[in-house]
């Protein structure tokens, strides 16, 4: 939905027709979603069977109000599996029972690994490629992290809580003069060369901003926003604390500052900025901004990203 979207005072309608003739109707309220961002909207779920042969039809429409509307960009409608229940579906019953006995000790782990899969599959449509299609394989891959949105975000499953965790990488920031090599340089991260780090050479106006859609986070969960930054051995100009501002999906704002001179030079630091709880409907976005506009020159920082970690 573009920032200039207009004409959607009422929800749009959709119809789904399955091969067996079953029909489902519903509505989607575009006004409830953040502007200027891509959304994955779940319309319906259904189960395939050997007899379920035919085609699935869908229709999305709004013709009641008769008013002009615009500002949508439509990529596609996808049909995605929400669980890995097709592997081994043709095995004999005795083999399945034996497998169940062998896996009894791992039952709780398997249940845990599958809890997030419907949301995970939807999020992973934004990834270039993901290795491992089984439930366990997917969970293991997500514990390591998957790059999304042209390598501007990293999606992970937190092993301790089994909740969604995200990092907005430096390439996903809006950095003042970030593409001007007089002030900033970019280099691959040694830990993962597909990720890029932003190195501040010198600026007198530090301004960094980013955002994350809360629909990607686990609902009704407390999250901590953490800045991942390295303070170079030759860093300078941070005798004044830098400011940060957090704007939550409901419009609530939080402002504070952090004194980088209190952190050791030559080391990476995880600096907690704020905590918040995601709402049940999980619609909107969280915005963050890190800045220092006093006018004196400063440099020597290396930015990796800002993460949203479940507590």
DSSP secondary structure string for all residues of 119-175: HHHHHHTTBS--S--SHHHHHHHHHH-EEETTTTEEEEE-TTT--EEEEEEGGGSEE
pLDDT given for residue 99 in this prediction: 46
pLDDT given for residue 184 in this prediction: 98
Q: What is the tens place of the pLDDT at every residue in 9-19?
A: 788 889 898 88
pTM higher than 0.85, yes or no?
no
Q: What is the tens place of the pLDDT at every residue in 74-111?
A: 988 988 887 554 444 444 444 444 444 444 444 344 44
Ranges of residues in the chain whose predicted pLDDT is under 50: 85-117
Percent of residues in the chain assigned helix, strand, coil, to nearest 5: 15, 40, 45
* Count of C-beta atoms within a 10 Å radius of residue 29: 12
Helix (H, G, I), strand (E, B) or coil at 214: helix
Q: Which of 24, 25, 21 is nearest to 12 (CA)?
A: 25
pLDDT given for residue 124 in this prediction: 81
Q: Where does the chain hold its CATH 2.60.120.260 domain(s)? A: 165-310
pLDDT given for residue 209 in this prediction: 98
pLDDT given for residue 88 in this prediction: 44
- Report the topology of domain 165-310: Jelly Rolls (2.60.120)
pLDDT given for residue 148 in this prediction: 94
């Amino acid at each position: 939905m573009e920032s200039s979207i207009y004409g959607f005072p009422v929800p749009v309608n959709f119809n789904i027709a399955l091969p067996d003739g079953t029909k489902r109707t519903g509505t989607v309220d575009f006004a409830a979603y953040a502007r200027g961002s891509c959304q994955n909207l779940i319309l319906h779920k259904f189960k395939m069977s050997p007899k379920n042969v035919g085609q699935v039809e869908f229709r999305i429409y709004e013709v009641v109000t008769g008013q002009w509307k615009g500002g949508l960009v439509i990529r596609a409608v996808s049909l995605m599996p929400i669980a890995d229940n097709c592997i081994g579906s043709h095995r004999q019953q005795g083999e399945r029972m034996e497998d169940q006995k062998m896996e009894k000790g791992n039952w709780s782990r398997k249940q845990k690994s599958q809890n997030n899969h419907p949301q995970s599959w939807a999020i992973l449509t934004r990834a270039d490629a993901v290795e491992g299609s089984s439930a366990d394989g997917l969970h293991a891959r997500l514990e390591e992290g998957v790059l999304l949105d042209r390598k501007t975000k990293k999606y992970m499953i937190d092993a301790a809580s089994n909740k969604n965790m995200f990092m907005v990488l430096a390439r996903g920031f809006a950095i003042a003069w970030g593409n001007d090599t007089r002030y900033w340089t970019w280099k691959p991260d040694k830990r993962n060369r597909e990720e890029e780090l932003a190195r501040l050479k010198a600026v007198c106006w530090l301004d960094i901003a980013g955002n994350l859609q809360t629909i990607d986070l686990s609902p009704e969960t407390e999250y901590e926003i953490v800045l991942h930054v390295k303070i170079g051995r030759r860093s300078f100009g941070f005798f004044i604390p830098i400011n940060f501002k957090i704007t939550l999906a409901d419009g609530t704002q939080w402002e504070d500052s952090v004194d980088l001179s209190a952190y050791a030079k030559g080391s990476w630091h995880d600096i907690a900025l704020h905590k918040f709880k995601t709402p049940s409907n999980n619609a909107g976005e969280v915005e963050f901004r890190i800045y220092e506009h006093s006018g004196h020159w400063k440099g020597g920082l290396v930015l990796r990203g800002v993460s949203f970690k479940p507590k």
